[in-house]
Amino acid sequence: MSAPFTRARVALDAVHATDPTTVGNRPSEMIYADRLESWLLRLVPNPSPALSLAARAQHLERWVIPRSDFPMDRAGYHAWRTSVHRRQGQRAEEILVGAGVDEEVAGRVRTLVSKLAKDADGQALEDAACLVFLEYELADFAVSHPDYTREKFMGIIQRTWRKMSPAAHTLSSSIPLSAELASLVKEALSGAGSTP
């Protein structure tokens, strides 16, 4: 592990530590980075430095651009996500260059974090994010949206599944879900013509 790579990780985590939202006294962003990185390493056991750093930077300062700044509809959601991804990519590149990471690697991280890489690395990050959602966020998401119908939740699960690679589909079977969520996921994927 090179000195610039190590410095970059430390710098990214220092930014994560400033997340005002905490869970069990840990910054939420740090928790997310740990979870995403853990899934990435199951998908890609020996990631490149750029992919590894991109995994660590996925939600970099996500709180800076509030969702409430955009219309609360699907178009507003997508506009918010695009703005967040663009900013996260820019910030990641700035931090990495400041830590001494090669500009080409830092630029690649920016592309990956900005969700502009339509290749194996970009898919691996998408897979890891989807797996984090299924393992850690789906249950809370359901609780926080009591107004959503079962059909709407199934649509969310189906869209998540379509983003994932076959390798991620296989890994998802290791995720422990409550009986209710497992039933919902099974129904959603059966309805989509997929195998849960």
Residue 196, in any domain of the structure: no
- Predicted confidence at residue 193, as pLDDT, reads 53
Total-model pTM: 0.91
Number of structural domains (the chain) is: 1
55 lies in a domain? Answer: yes
- Compute φ and ψ for 165, nearest 5 degrees: -80, 165
Asked if pLDDT for residue 192 goes beyond 60, the answer is no
Q: Is residue 122, in this structure, part of any structural domain at all?
A: yes
| Residue 40 within a domain | yes
Question: Between residues 186 and 15, which one has the greater pLDDT?
Answer: 15
* pLDDT tens readout for residues 2-17: 899 999 999 999 999 9
Assess contact for 47 and 55: CB atoms under 8 A: yes
Asked whether the predicted pLDDT for residue 68 surpasses 50, the reply is yes
Banded pLDDT at 196 (limits 50, 70, 90): very low
| CA separation for the pair 62, 81 (Å, rounded) | 10
Region 111-118: what's the mean pLDDT?
96
- CATH number of the CATH domain containing 109: 1.10.3210
pLDDT in tens, 161-182: 999 999 999 999 999 998 988 8
What range defines the domain where residue 87 resides?
A: 3-191
Q: Counting every residue, how long is the chain?
A: 196
The pLDDT of 87-97, averaged and rounded, is: 97
* Average pLDDT over the chain, rounded to an integer: 93
Give me the phi and psi of 69, to 5 degrees please.
Answer: -75, -5
Identify whether 85 is part of a domain: yes
Percent of the chain with pLDDT over 90: 79
Instruction: Evaluate whether residue 130 is within a structural domain.
Output: yes
